[in-house]
Structure 1
């Protein structure tokens, strides 16, 4: 399994509050996480870093022979553990009051089964021969308005409150997360990203780059960052790409 991890502060922000990690656990499973922190000066980056560290630590004991059900339970427990850590820090320190973070996490079991967990508006996409498919649903006010028919999808893209989250990790003692298990095909690419990428580039642009067979996975990640910056770079930009199978042969 090949993994590539890139992040950029963007053109507007004074600090990078995104954190991410992709690699192999001690148990031998491929894992990745993207967290986009919030909470003001030095709070957002603290929240996202705490979440990534707590999640990774909780996932380390999962053995390579774990079933998809076991992996799903462990991933849920790891995200809830991350929520406890961030919430506790925010509760005990005035400067971190109300800090939180989005999370999107991916775990591959035997490289043919993908477990996804997420809270907030950091996204996961599948890029395949069939095109691009968004695998996660944003936990945002604007998405709720779209689902209820109050605004159109096109209106949502420019809505003044499009960044208001309805769920985040670390802001409450208990957290609700979405978890799903998906079959994974060799050669398909998984894209995890913060909204600094998805807010700047549409599906067509993401597919044009990530689906380009002439580019290495590293080149794809670099080009996605560059295009998000060229489109405005209004936020921190984080990209994780993961691929297994014949299309990744020779690159691992």
Structure 2
């Protein structure tokens, strides 16, 4: 399995509230998180989410049959719920952290399946040959308006409320994550990224960029640079993984 990662503060923000995690032991777990909140609360929330979720998965990894989607989904749900509770409770006892939260997108990769735990507007994609599939939904107001036909895709791109998130980790005591299993094939490329990338780069551009370069790292570097050239209005993070079935 080949993978690459790149994160950047962007050109506007004072600190990087994005966080990411890659399981160095077996390269099977990948996570991105995009924090939100005043002061440095967003950075704290995203780091807490990464630490709590990755630790929980590591502790319970040996008890999960990766061939059983229900067991994997249960692992993801419990990890997300634990992180949500701890982040929310921390925000209640510290006024400076009031209202903090984070997106969270987790990918667990098995030989033939991709398992996703997701909340917020970071994204997971699968690039297969020349087709790019967005696996996750954006938990945003604009996404809901688009889904029910209230606005068009063109209107969605420049909607004044396009940054309003309808689901986030740590903003309430309960959370309902999106849990997905997706069959993957040899040479599929799995992409996890925050909205600092997707707010300024179209899906078609993401797809085409992976055919421009010989390595995943070059592609990630290119996409981060492109997002900064287009304003760098937000923190930007991307992880790309080329899957091998064997």
Separation in 1 of the partners of 2:130 and 2:207? 10
- Tell me the residue number matched to 1:57: 55
Seen in structure 2, the aligned counterparts of structure 1 residues 207 and 134 have a Cα distance that, compared at 3 Å, is same
Report Cα offsets for 1:128-162 as digits up to 9, x if no partner.
Answer: 11411111110001111111111101100101110
Separation in 2 of the partners of 1:150 and 1:244? 38
Separation in 2 of the partners of 1:56 and 1:211? 32
- Tell me the residue number matched to 1:101: 102
Seen in structure 2, the aligned counterparts of structure 1 residues 55 and 211 have a Cα distance that, compared at 3 Å, is farther
Separation in 2 of the partners of 1:2 and 1:210? 14
The count of residues paired between Structure 1 and Structure 2 equals 243
Any stretches of 5+ residues in structure 1 without a counterpart?
A: none
- Tell me the residue number matched to 2:223: 224
Please tell me whether the aligned partners of residues 38 and 96 of structure 2 are also in contact (alpha carbons under 8 angstroms): no
Seen in structure 2, the aligned counterparts of structure 1 residues 29 and 68 have a Cα distance that, compared at 3 Å, is farther
TM-score (normalised: structure 1): 0.92
Separation in 2 of the partners of 1:232 and 1:208? 21
- Tell me the residue number matched to 2:194: 194
Cα root mean square deviation, aligned: 1.6
Separation in 2 of the partners of 1:143 and 1:66? 31
SS at match of 1:62: helix
- Tell me the residue number matched to 1:91: 92
| Counterpart pick for 1:47 among 41, 45, 48 | 45
Cα drift, residue 3 of structure 1? 2.1
Cα drift, residue 23 of structure 1? 2.3
Seen in structure 2, the aligned counterparts of structure 1 residues 128 and 182 have a Cα distance that, compared at 3 Å, is same
- Tell me the residue number matched to 2:33: 35
Separation in 2 of the partners of 1:24 and 1:65? 20
Are residue 132 (structure 1) and residue 132 (structure 2) matched?
yes
Cα drift, residue 80 of structure 1? 1.1
Cα drift, residue 29 of structure 1? 5.9
- Tell me the residue number matched to 1:4: 4
